[in-house]
Structure 1
Amino acid sequence: MHNYRNFLPEELAADPSFRRWTLYNDPEEGTIWAEWLELNPDKRELVEKARYFLINTEAAFDQITEDEIANEIYRLSHSIGENKAKKSGIWRRFRPNWYNMAASILLLMFAGWWFNKQTPSQQQQDQYKVILSQITEPLVKEENVTDKARLIVLADGSTVLLQPKSRITYPTNFEGNKREVFLSGEAFFEVAKNPDKPFYVYAHTLATKVLGTSFKVSAFEGDKEVKVVVKTGRVSVFPMTKEAIATQQADDKLGGMVLTPNQQIVFAPKELRLTRSLVPDPKLLELPIQSQSFEFKGTPITEVFATLEKSYGVKIIHDADVMKNCFLTASLSDEPLFEKINLICKTIGAQYEQLDASIIITSTGCY
């Protein structure tokens, strides 16, 4: 294997082995590059930059025709002293080597031109694609094609109320030191607390980082602005630029522009402008869960379950007669749904299970 340590990102992007691994998921090349990264952990940033170059320039680069490459090969053959290579046919005999060389050089030139012409908004959208491409765990894509909010439970216990015409992509399991999901549209998140594994929501041009809280993100395709509204806890919001993401992922604290309850932020990607303000009127929040406090003081358990059913759109099956003497006093504001259910059951001595999109509560009653 070549010594890639002194390569520039553009040079690495042009390497045939690296291209086969990045673009075509070649398993043999994948093994080679995984071993190389193990031996050269300090070059992970180099690899990520090269992947960014390659993924975002490949589509346009593929539009270069065979004739254009042939012309470039002919020009290159003279510039490096191979004057005997003739466009009339000799170059075809050596086409594999010359073709790869020309392709590599053309890619390097095109990469520089392409990144210089990109707008801030385009760079942020491309960064979204690069981060998504780096996820190694199997991904699940959920799309809400109904006219009602849809509840999705993630592997860590976090819950997502996905709004109609919205889509979310997430790993089946959150490996590594962070939890990352990708949103197109609108969703309300209740994130399970885990200070050691921050939770990131990438929404095209804006990223949100939390440690455990509840908030709404609105980022429909085609919208000029992205909006984040916080219900509980604190979140950090920052543009999807390479520099901002690197800073946030290197720090276990909340940086960027921090939002607290009843605050919202609107992001205009073209101007890289973040505008923070108070929520003007809680009634403007469309989802019942966002205006629900989940503060219970001696509340009959049947009413508690009815509140959860209305807020999350799930069916909670229980025996109201058996549990008629069960009451709850608790504050359950920012826990995900199943953490709420678990705390309720521990408090009243009950058990629960999930069956056919419903939650079944079993209890011997309260005395």
Structure 2
Amino acid sequence: MTMNESNYLHYTVDDYAVDPSFRKWCLSEGETGSAFWETFLLRHPEKAEEIEAARRIVLGVDQHFASREASPASIESHYLQTLKTAQQRERTIKLKRQKLQFAAAITLLIAAAISFTYYTFSSSDESSLLVYRTDYGEQKTIQLPDSSLVRLNANSKLIINPTWEIDSLREVWLEGEAYFSVAKKPAHHTKFVVHAQELNVEVLGTQFNVNTMEGATEVVLDEGKIKLSKSDNTETITMSPGEMATFSVSTRRITKKQVNPQLYRSWKEGYLTYEEARLSEVLKDVQQTFGYTIVVKDSLLLEETISGALSSNDLDSLLIVLKDIIPKISFTQNDQQLIVTKKK
């Protein structure tokens, strides 16, 4: 059957995602469909963002179904069902997909991926999902059904499906930062997977820190061994204790280096530890932990370095110590704005 380009010009992200020809192209099936969509994309670059958004939905859902070893008929049925559910949830919160910028579209896709996984093999509705949140300056310790412990840092969110323990996979979704102490499952050898932005962290029993910062996801391994994989399965690495892996959203690559894990888990004990860290890095942590907008009057101050421990529970205490370490700086608080200046 001949495919007409005009039929696809008014498609939304969801329309593309359910179109059989488009899905085959995303999954590299069928030469005819591939040629059509490649040509369509060249002729209509204004549709590139919507097509990329739909492609990631297709790839993400296909990866999830493949891990469940579902039959082709089951995949087709659940795919359409879960997409319909995600559409209903998006309409409820009145998301206007047409006006999304590219970065916002990525955020939407992450939320959609969560919706797909939860609704695919579960009859529970949205109200049955377990969502743990922390405010700015707040931390929580969460015990999961398998006795694994999660320490959730400030301004973070952890989501789990209540039925996850009886499934073949133990999965959680993280936005923000958390420290995981994962319980081993010797009887069933079920995997534990943390989904953090576009990175999947797979473990059997270990301790590690995950931080989904702006533009990147950092994973620091304390003990044991974990495997990291990108959501599109194009790259997989294993980590050993004392290593930090960073996934960059812009380059879509994972880099790895040796670090001192204590520096990345000290927030659990109520302080942030630094070794020759730039002030710019410290201020990012202040913004993430306390929710203040940072305004720096002199950009040269950002190059100042510090070594030491700062409070992660009390902003006033943090600023007092920081001024002792770098005497030339001054701080002014104005509502939720923190103004950094150089002393005259």
TM-score (norm 1): 0.44
Q: Which has the higher contact order (CA 8 A, sep 6+)?
A: 1
TM-score (norm 2): 0.47
Q: Which has the larger radius of gyration?
A: 1
